[in-house]
Amino acid sequence: MSDQVRENEGSIDRDPDVGSVIYPAQGLLAGEFLCGLWASACDALAIPADQTVRSIRVLRSVLPAWAGERIGPAPAEPSYVADDGFPAELSVNWSGTRPELRLLFDCGLASRDSPWHARSGAVAANRRLGRIHEVFTPQVGRSPAPLWHSVAWRPPSRPVHKTYFGLYAWPLPQRYAAVSEAMRRLRMTAAWNDARRRVEGTAGRREIEFFAVDLADEADARVKIYYRNHGADIGEVNRVASVARHHDAERASAAYRTLTGGRTDAGEAALNCLAFRSGLDGAAECATYLRLAGLASCDREAVDRTAELLRREGVDPGRFRGLATALAPGPLHDSRDLLALVSYRAAGRPGDVTTYFRPPVYDRSVPRPSSPADLAARDRNDDSA
């Protein structure tokens, strides 16, 4: 934890219902709290202090207006980012010689005159986002999409940025229409049509939940489409991941089993993220996200399973364990939901594991947005066809 958080360490609260530990964050400015977590992560990852300071400057420059507000006892406007409504999560990708540190945060709703876009210059600075941003703004008969942004930094390189549009509040036809139009504008229609056909040919219930773009003009910059699965086992999420051109199903299956503790159940709402790259006629690769908060009894068990996966992938899990301990507001065996998600991508790059930490700021979960998609009705229609 950062020094600012440690000042209140003696006041750590425990939820009597679930025995969880929350951060003593009330009264802190949200931005200062997040920059403190970022600094703690940099320290755990042994990043030089001067590089950390520069990265925090970048982070401050893009955080939304709510970063200047103080954290209260409950979220004023609950965010979909975390179960307790806090609008940010920290994550680390462990592939390569140096980990990549990321911060994802909620920017409100997409609009043509979004204050966040005006501040960050994201649309003006990136041609790809400029082509598609309007697709997700308010339309006749449709609300705007929630807008999230991510800063990703693999030192000593410069930070890179990503933007996400949440589709979960829209009926399925509107989601598919928006995704199809965005992919048309990005000249990826053929790749999208191929992936959609193959996903829809895979048994099971799932829905598109997010559309995302890397804010870079390089040829390898990705466009990503996220599917949320319902009631899936690890075989089903593996079959969806196999839609991608580069996917080692056998290696992925072993990784999933490590994370689930040997269970075949993929847990609640496992995600598949199909990534598209220019010039390819289908999805290039797929990352699968498992919610360890529902698959492990506590954060200690979640960390142990993830450490074992990293070890099998040839990554020394020591830094990961140190990071989890640094970010935890208390003993890992007393907490749940800090290590909320772990994703795995079997596309030929060893150690392509990403760990997602959601700091427990509030002591109660908030209701999740309900999806208007009637998947059961869709299944009935498919059965009668």
Secondary structure, 3-state, the chain? CCHHHHCCHHHCEECCCCCCEECCCCCCEHHHHHHHHHHHHHHHCCCCHHHHHHHHHHHHHHCCHHHHCECCCCCCCCCCCCCCCCCEEEEEECCCCCCEEEEEEEEEECCCCCHHHHHHCHHHHCHHHHHHHHHHCCECCECCCEEEEEEEECCCCCCEEEEEEECCCCCHHHHHHHHHHHHHHCCCHHHHHHHHHHHHCCCCEEEEEEEEEECCCCCCCEEEEEEEEECCEHHHHHHHHCCCCCCCHHHHHHHHHHHHCCCCECCCCCEEEEEEECCCCCCCEEEEEEEHHHHCCCHHHHHHHHHHHHHHCCCCCHHHHHHHHHHCCCCHHHCCCCEEEEEEECCCCCCCEEEEECCCCCCCCCCCCCCCCCHHHHHHHHHHC
Quick check: bond before 155 cis, omega within 30? no
> Is 349:313 a contact under the CB 8 Å cutoff?
no
Bridging pattern class, strands 88-93 and 21-22: unpaired
Show the low-confidence residues of the chain (pLDDT under 50). Answer: 1-19, 118, 123, 377-385
Residue-wise pLDDT for 12-69, tens only, equals 333 344 445 678 899 999 999 999 999 999 999 999 999 999 999 999 999 999 999 9
- Say what the pLDDT of residue 373 is: 64
Q: Which domain holds residue 172?
A: 3-384
What lies within 8 Å, CB to CB, of 135 at 6+ separation is 178, 181, 182, 185
Q: How far apart are CA 281 and CA 193, in angstroms?
A: 9
Q: What is the CA radius of gyration of the chain?
A: 20
How many domains is the chain partitioned into structurally? 1
What lies within 8 Å, CB to CB, of 117 at 6+ separation is 123, 133
> Is 319:52 a contact under the CB 8 Å cutoff?
no
Bridging pattern class, strands 222-230 and 205-214: antiparallel
Considering the entire predicted model, what is its pTM? Answer: 0.90
- Say what the pLDDT of residue 33 is: 96
User: Angle CA(139)–CA(61)–CA(320) in degrees, nearest 5?
Assistant: 100
Other Cβ atoms closer than 10 A to 208:
21
Q: Rounded to whole angstroms, what are the CA distances from 362 to 14, 39, 296?
A: 11, 21, 21
Q: How far apart are CA 329 and CA 176, in angstroms?
A: 41
Q: Read off φ and ψ for residue 132, nearest 5 degrees.
A: -110, -15
- Say what the pLDDT of residue 13 is: 38
- Say what the pLDDT of residue 366 is: 76
Which residues, in sequence order, are bridge partners of residue 88?
A: 105
CA nearest 301: which of 269, 329, 271, 342?
342
- Say what the pLDDT of residue 375 is: 58
- Say what the pLDDT of residue 20 is: 57
- Say what the pLDDT of residue 221 is: 87
